[in-house]
Amino acid sequence: MSPRNALRTTTFRLALAYLAIFVASSATLLGFIYWATSGAIDRESEQIIEAELTGLREQYRQWGVVGLVRVIEERSKGDRADDMRYLVAGPRFERVTGNLSAWPPELRDRRGLVEFPLKVRVGDRQEARQTMAMAFDLPNGFRLLVGRDMKERSEFRERVLGAIAWSLALTLAFGLAGGYWVSRHLMRRVDAINRTSSGIRAGDLQQRVPVTGKGDEFDQLALNLNAMLDQIERLMSGMRQVTANVAHDMRTPLNRLRARLEVTLIEKPDEARYREAIQETIDEADRIIATFNAMLSIAEAESGAKTESMARTELPPLVDQIAELYEPLAEEKGLALSVEHAGRAVARADHHLLSQAVANLLDNAIKYTPSGGSVTVRTAETAKGAEITVADTGPGIPAESREAVLARFVRLEQSRSTPGNGLGLSLVQAVARMHGADLLLEDNAPGLRVTLRFAAVANGRSTAK
């Protein structure tokens, strides 16, 4: 991934947003510290100036102008002279004594604390220093000025402003670098997924998203995607299998049909033979159509898109109807077909498809049970929900084959002599799935017992999805 793309990611934008919030809040915090501290220095200076003034006024009261002048002269030379400013001036602001050369114009007619830049000599240079000062009028026209150099505060301000600038600059730098790093890191993971999907689009269905094993959300996504791809691959290969089976299974009857017509043509038959051949052809075509219909029904049930046709259905009448259709067939084969109902079994069902499924079960039971046996269809309302059971006394299906016979075109070796395509139970299974019903194949000792168990219906609605 190119560095420019990393800057365009959502992650990087999010990092920028967080950075902006962080910078704003730290600037606010540092600004507050700055404001509070420099305010404290101001107040300290005010207190010092006021205390000096009070002290000097006291001197004046005790010793008069002469005493005051002496004290000021002393203080102007002492340690305090570094940052304290003193001046005694006459009525026309003429300097009497102190460490200032002239009365500052800013203080001529202002009372109280005044802050102004004051020119002072530092070594051999003149420097404008921010100064806080206060003037006091003495009786007989003299005046006293006490001030403080605010150099300390200026230095402090400079240092704090420098620190703020540096910390903001560093925060920005780290934030940008961090955001860039994180988004590159995440993009690498996303890229792996993108690479896999383009590989798959290019035709390589075998590709899978790499899993790092960290167990994070990307691994989760990769596992899910891979599971989905496995499923798609399985479905595709199933589809391929079914297509091959369909082609194979259709070829046999079509070949048979064609051969019969050909033989009839060569035989130079009479009209009766023609009639017979045409009738056989129609029968064969019917069987082919029936197979296609079965496959269509399975596809229809598997698409599961018929939820609007699902309605509250009473199972006993549905089963009675089908059983009646199969009664002659059972009788013809010498089988005892009985129907039993226990309770008012109700399920949410698609009437047409469910009828087809029950018909397939009955068809199997009658087809595979030798004459003299019996077939029983039962509906029941149990605690687990409504049930339809079709049981026979035939050869049954060995336990290890019960799963396999549900697949399309699968027929047991023992049934090769009977007609069929191996689609009946596939349809039953597709219909069961579509209804959210359980399909159970069990031993009827002897014979096979197939149960369709539907979810209980509450207030006319199925709880099954």
Ligand X SMILES: Nc1ncnc2c1ncn2[C@@H]1O[C@H](COP(=O)(O)OP(=O)(O)OP(=O)(O)O)[C@@H](O)[C@H]1O
Which residues form the interface with ligand X (CB under 6 A)? 294, 360, 364-365, 368, 392, 394-397, 405, 410-412, 415, 420-426, 448
- Choosing among Mg ion, ligand X, none, which partner's interface includes residue 448 (Cβ < 5 to 8 Å by kind)? ligand X
Structure tokens at 110: 């202002």
Binding mask 376-415 toward Mg ion (x if CB under 5 A, else -) reads ----------------------------------------
Number of residues that this document lists for the chain: 465
Pick one of Mg ion, ligand X, none as the site partner of residue 245 (Cβ within 5 to 8 A by kind): none
209 or 357: whose CB is closer to ligand X?
357
Min CB(298)–Mg ion separation in Å: 12
146 binds, among Mg ion, ligand X, none (CB under 5 to 8 A by kind): none
- Residue 318 or 448 with smaller CB distance to Mg ion: 448
Q: Which residue is nearest to ligand X (CB)?
A: 424
CA torsion sign for 19, 25, 29, 34 is: positive
Nearer to ligand X, 346 or 391 (CB): 391
Chosen residue from 196, 355, 356, 364 binding Mg ion by CB under 5 A: 364
**8 Å CB contact between 448 and 396:** yes
Please give the single-letter amino acid code of residue 198.
S
d(CA 78, CA 52): 14
Q: Given the complex with Mg ion, which of 355 and 364 has the nearer CB atom?
A: 364
Q: Dig out the tokens for 248 from the structure.
A: 């194979």
CA–CA gap between residue 464 and residue 437 (Å, rounded): 8
Instruction: Tell me the closest approach of the beta carbon of residue 288 to ligand X, in angstroms.
Output: 12
Partner touching 346 among ligand X, Mg ion, none, CB below 5 to 8 Å by kind: none
| Position with the least CB separation from Mg ion | 424
Beta carbon of residue 284, minimum distance to Mg ion (angstroms, whole number)? 19
Of the candidates 52, 50, 54, 32, the residue with the CA atom closest to the CA atom of residue 42: 50
In whole angstroms, the minimum distance from the beta carbon of 370 to Mg ion comes to 16
Residue with tokens 């029950």: 358
CA–centroid distance for 326 within its chain:
54
Angle at 238 between CA 233 and CA 243, to 5 degrees: 125
78, 62 in Cβ contact below 8 A?
no
Interacting stretch for Mg ion, rule CB under 5 A, among 146-154, 299-307, 357-365, 381-389?
357-365
Cβ atoms < 10 Å from Cβ of 16: 15
Ramachandran category for residue 213: left, alpha or beta (phi over 0 → left; psi -120 to 50 → alpha) = left
When CB distances are held under 5 to 8 angstroms depending on the partner's kind, the choice from ligand X, Mg ion, none that residue 365 binds is ligand X
Q: Is 424 a binder of Mg ion (CB under 5 A)?
A: yes
C-alpha 156/C-alpha 33 separation (Å) is 12
Partner interacting with residue 411 (select from ligand X, Mg ion, none; CB below 5-8 Å by kind): ligand X
Q: How far apart are CA 67 and CA 352, in angstroms?
A: 124
3: preceding bond cis by omega (within 30 degrees): no
User: Which CB atom, from 349 or from 428, has the smaller least distance to ligand X?
Assistant: 428
The helix (H) or strand (E) run that includes residue 149 is strand 143-149
Q: What is the largest CA-CA distance in the chain?
A: 162
Smaller CB distance to ligand X: residue 98 or 396?
396
Cβ-based nearer residue to ligand X, 104 or 447: 447
**Which partner from the list Mg ion, ligand X, none does 431 bind, CB cut-off 5 to 8 Å by kind?**
none
User: Binders of Mg ion: how many residues, by CB under 5 A?
Assistant: 2
Pairing type for strands 374-382 and 336-342 reads: parallel
Q: Which of 450, 439, 441, 453 is nearest to 398 (CA)?
A: 441
- Least Å from the CB of residue 351 to ligand X: 21
Closer residue to ligand X (CB): 355 or 364: 364
Query: Which of the stretches 63-71, 169-177, 348-356, 359-367 binds Mg ion when contact is defined by CB under 5 A?
Result: 359-367
For residue 342, which phi and psi values (nearest 5 degrees)?
-120, 100
Min. distance of Cβ 422 from Mg ion in angstroms? Answer: 7
Which of ligand X, Mg ion, none lies near 196, with the C-beta cut-off 5 to 8 A by kind?
Answer: none
76 binds, among ligand X, Mg ion, none (CB under 5 to 8 A by kind): none
Q: By three-state DSSP, how is residue 386 classified?
A: strand
Q: What is the DSSP string of 23-51?
A: HHHHHHHHHHHHHHHHHHHHHHHHHHHHH
Instruction: Confirm if 422 and 294 have CB atoms less than 8 A apart.
Output: no
The CB-of-264 to ligand X minimum distance in angstroms stands at: 27
Question: Taking the complex as a whole, how short is the minimal distance between the CB of residue 419 and ligand X, in angstroms?
Answer: 7
Residue with smaller CB distance to ligand X, 381 or 392: 392
Residue 368's binding partner, choosing from ligand X, Mg ion, none, with beta-carbon cut-off 5 to 8 A by kind?
A: ligand X
The listed partner (Mg ion, ligand X, none) that binds 354, CB under 5 to 8 Å by sort, is: none
Residue ranges that bind Mg ion, judged by CB under 5 A: 364, 424
